[in-house]
Amino acid sequence: MEFLPLFTDLKDKCCLVVGGGAVALRKANLLQKAGARLRVVAPEIDAELEQLAADNSGQCHHRAYTQDDLDGVFLAIAATDDEALNAQVSGDCHAANIPVNVVDNPALCSFILPAIIDRSPLVVAVSSGGRSPVLARIVRAKLESSIPAAYGRLAKLVGECRDAVKARFSDIEDRRLFWEKALDGPVAEMVYAGKEDAAKEMLQEQIASADAPSGGEVYLIGAGPGDPDLMTFKAMRLLQRADVVLYDRLVAPAIVELCRKDAQRVFVGKARSNHAVPQEDINQLLVDFAKQGRKVARLKGGDPFIFGRGGEEIAQLASERIPFQVVPGVTAAAGCASYAGIPLTHRDYAQSVRFVTGHLKDNSIDLPWSELVHTTQTVVFYMGLVGLPVICRELVAHGRHPDTPIALIQQGTTRDQKVVVATLATMVEEIARNPVKAPTLIIVGEVVELRRQLAWYENQGELVKPVV
């Protein structure tokens, strides 16, 4: 993070704008909305900008900038097309420890102005660190359409009732849980419908009758194979609600970063034959945290119920009578195959697909090999990298042709995705020449050949889908 987002109180503070054109007017409008007193300095000043300053007890000086213009200034903005002048303003401000923004020149800035979604008192700021203001505005436009204008009215209602909630609940966690429930229920719906008075009355009744929240809940969340964009809306919503997040190495770091910043993060490991936290202990952690009254997210790569041991975890939760929700995720087979350009089924090549774990509980590979060699079936091996030689050998030994195509996908759907294609006879040698690292997925079947026919290309280890 190059810039720390901060919201500054500018009410009745003097803010300098150097420049008198259209850009200076846009920046001055932002300052004025926040309650600042404007001091505008430029040889020529736009009439609208001059009127804006006059209407808000500001000043306009029709002359060149001097260092004396910084006297009594809280912050400054340089918005001219004179690079030397902008640099002078920046240098003077840095020397005087006055925050300064130089339009379109992040190197000269000590603060930057974000793109803003204004639902006052709720304000959302979007920034690219000065690298791409246009991209920040595009993101803002997307957010504008998804954040109702009524959120501002809802924020005002919450502000009016905060002291009452503080008086009702001394514990900060109890207050947070109360507000989460209130803001996701009928009170909020009434505000959205324009019934603020009825909403306030209902909220006050809830505050008066509310008891301290008791009992936790566990969310088993399928995080997908790695790309955060593949997570469901429900997964994102529950992840943001969680007080504690348990995750392992199969969950992409970018997904872990999506949890609340104040949530407790617990790494539970789970590498082959090297569990940082044994499964039994993970089950118990879920129980223990929930019994403390906390909302617990168990992030699981792919889908919780496809080789994710989710069944073991909910069994213990159910035995302890702890509420839980299971959120399906895009399983690794579907995600990795799609990003690698390999359809798992095809009318001409494979009428069925089978998901198989590459190692069992005791790390053996004792599979029903004779059932895995049908030529019209795609077989997907999870966690099969270590057992790759055995997989290739046994499939051939039980009747699959040595020339059967096989693909090994490393860290599928992420920026580190790598796809190695060979045959059952040659894959072990290919991996020796072209090493890969876990997590990996193995796809065996004629559908692998379709990767080339469907015109997916590999470029420096990253797959690029041609634009149609």
Q: List the binding residues for S-adenosyl-L-methionine.
A: 225, 301-303, 306, 331-332, 383, 412
Q: What six digits make up the tokens of 407?
A: 């693909």
Residue 400 pLDDT class (50, 70, 90 cuts): very high
- In the prediction, which pLDDT does 430 show? 96
What percent of the chain has pLDDT above 90? 73
Question: Number of folded domains in the chain?
Answer: 4
State whether 289 and 273 are in the same domain: yes
State whether 195 and 242 are in the same domain: no
| Domain-located, residue 429 | yes
- In the prediction, which pLDDT does 462 show? 47
Q: How many other C-beta atoms lie within 10 A of the C-beta of residue 180?
A: 14
Nearest CA to 286 out of 306, 266, 263 is that of: 266
State whether 348 and 454 are in the same domain: yes
* SS3 call for 67: helix
| Domain-located, residue 467 | no
Indicate if the pLDDT at residue 353 is higher than 70: yes
| Domain-located, residue 450 | yes
State whether 305 and 229 are in the same domain: yes
Mean pLDDT for 293-315 is: 93
State whether 77 and 192 are in the same domain: no
- In the prediction, which pLDDT does 212 show? 65
Mean pLDDT for 312-325 is: 93
d(CA 79, CA 346): 60
- In the prediction, which pLDDT does 463 show? 46
The CATH number of the domain where 197 resides is what? 1.10.8
d(CA 151, CA 399): 63
State whether 408 and 448 are in the same domain: yes
- In the prediction, which pLDDT does 174 show? 83
Residue 241 pLDDT class (50, 70, 90 cuts): confident
Strands (E), 177-322: 217-222, 244-247, 264-267, 295-300
The CATH number of the domain where 349 resides is what? 3.30.950.10
Q: List the binding residues.
A: 22-23, 43-44, 225, 301-303, 306, 331-332, 383, 412
Indicate if the pLDDT at residue 46 is higher than 60: yes
The CATH number of the domain where 93 resides is what? 3.40.50.720
Residue 354 pLDDT class (50, 70, 90 cuts): very high
H or E element that contains 77: strand 75-78
State whether 346 and 443 are in the same domain: yes
Mean pLDDT for 124-147 is: 89
Last residue of a domain, one of 90, 113, 136: 113
Last residue of a domain, one of 330, 357, 378: 330
Indicate if the pLDDT at residue 443 is higher than 50: yes
Residue 45 pLDDT class (50, 70, 90 cuts): very high
State whether 195 and 80 are in the same domain: no
- In the prediction, which pLDDT does 468 show? 27
State whether 355 and 403 are in the same domain: yes
| Domain-located, residue 7 | no
| Domain-located, residue 123 | no
State whether 348 and 449 are in the same domain: yes
Question: In this structure, which amino acid lies at residue 26?
Answer: R
Percent of residues in the chain assigned helix, strand, coil, to nearest 5: 40, 20, 40
The CATH number of the domain where 249 resides is what? 3.40.1010.10
**Residue found under tokens 């860290």:** 411
H or E element that contains 157: helix 150-168
d(CA 203, CA 407): 57
- In the prediction, which pLDDT does 171 show? 83
Mean pLDDT for 31-37 is: 95
Q: Mind telling me the catalytic residues?
A: 248, 270
Mean pLDDT for 325-333 is: 95
| Domain-located, residue 126 | no
**Mean pLDDT lowest among 77-81, 86-90, 147-151, 227-231:** 147-151
Domain that holds residue 241: 217-330
Q: How many other C-beta atoms lie within 10 A of the C-beta of residue 323?
A: 12
State whether 73 and 156 are in the same domain: no
Last residue of a domain, one of 314, 330, 346: 330
Dmax (CA) of the chain: 89
- In the prediction, which pLDDT does 178 show? 87
Phi (first) and psi of residue 49, to 5 degrees: -65, -40
State whether 199 and 307 are in the same domain: no
Q: Where is pLDDT greater, at 254 or 452?
A: 254
| Domain-located, residue 127 | no
Query: Tens of pLDDT along 171-197?
Result: 887 888 888 888 888 898 899 889 999
| Domain-located, residue 132 | no
- In the prediction, which pLDDT does 272 show? 55
